[in-house]
Amino acid sequence: MPTAPEEMTLKVIAHIHTAFPTKFGIPRQSGLVDELRGEVIFTPEYRNADAVRGLEDFSHIWLVWQFSGAVRDSWSPTVRPPRLGGNTRMGVFATRSPFRPNPLGLSSVRLEGIEHRPDVGPVLIVRGADLMDGTPIYDIKPYIPYADCHPDAAEGFTGQTQFHRLQVQFPPELLAQVPQADRAALTGVLAGDPRPSYQHDPQRVYGMEFGPVEVHFTVDGEVLTVTGIARR
Q: Is 85 in the site for a second copy (CB under 8 A)?
A: no
Nearer to a second copy, 144 or 223 (CB): 144
When binding is defined by CB under 8 A, the residue of 19, 62, 170, 208 that contacts a second copy is 62
Dist CA 138 CA 163 (whole Å): 30
Q: Is 213 in the site for a second copy (CB under 8 A)?
A: no
User: Which residue intervals of 106-153 are DSSP H helices?
Assistant: 145-148
Name residues contacting a second copy, limited to 35-54 (CB under 8 A).
46, 48, 50-54
Amino acid at 161: T
CB 230, min distance to a second copy, A: 20
CB 23, min distance to a second copy, A: 10
Main-chain phi, psi angles of 123, to 5 degrees: -125, 125
CB 76, min distance to a second copy, A: 9
Q: Which stretch binds a second copy (CB under 8 A): 59-67, 176-184, 190-198, 212-220?
A: 59-67
Q: Is 73 in the site for a second copy (CB under 8 A)?
A: no
For residue 17, how far is the Cα from the chain centroid? 11
Q: Is 87 in the site for a second copy (CB under 8 A)?
A: no
Name residues contacting a second copy, limited to 161-200 (CB under 8 A).
none
For residue 158, how far is the Cα from the chain centroid? 17
Amino acid at 5: P
Helix (H, G, I), strand (E, B) or coil at 203: coil
Nearer to a second copy, 15 or 37 (CB): 15
Helix (H, G, I), strand (E, B) or coil at 76: coil
Nearer to a second copy, 145 or 179 (CB): 145
Residues 6+ positions from 122 with CB-CB distance below 8 Å: 42, 47, 48, 49, 51, 52, 114, 115, 116
Main-chain phi, psi angles of 117, to 5 degrees: -110, 135
CB atoms within 10 A of CB 112: 16
Name residues contacting a second copy, limited to 6-35 (CB under 8 A).
6-13, 15, 17, 21, 29-32
Name residues contacting a second copy, limited to 95-134 (CB under 8 A).
95-96, 100-104, 106, 108, 132-134
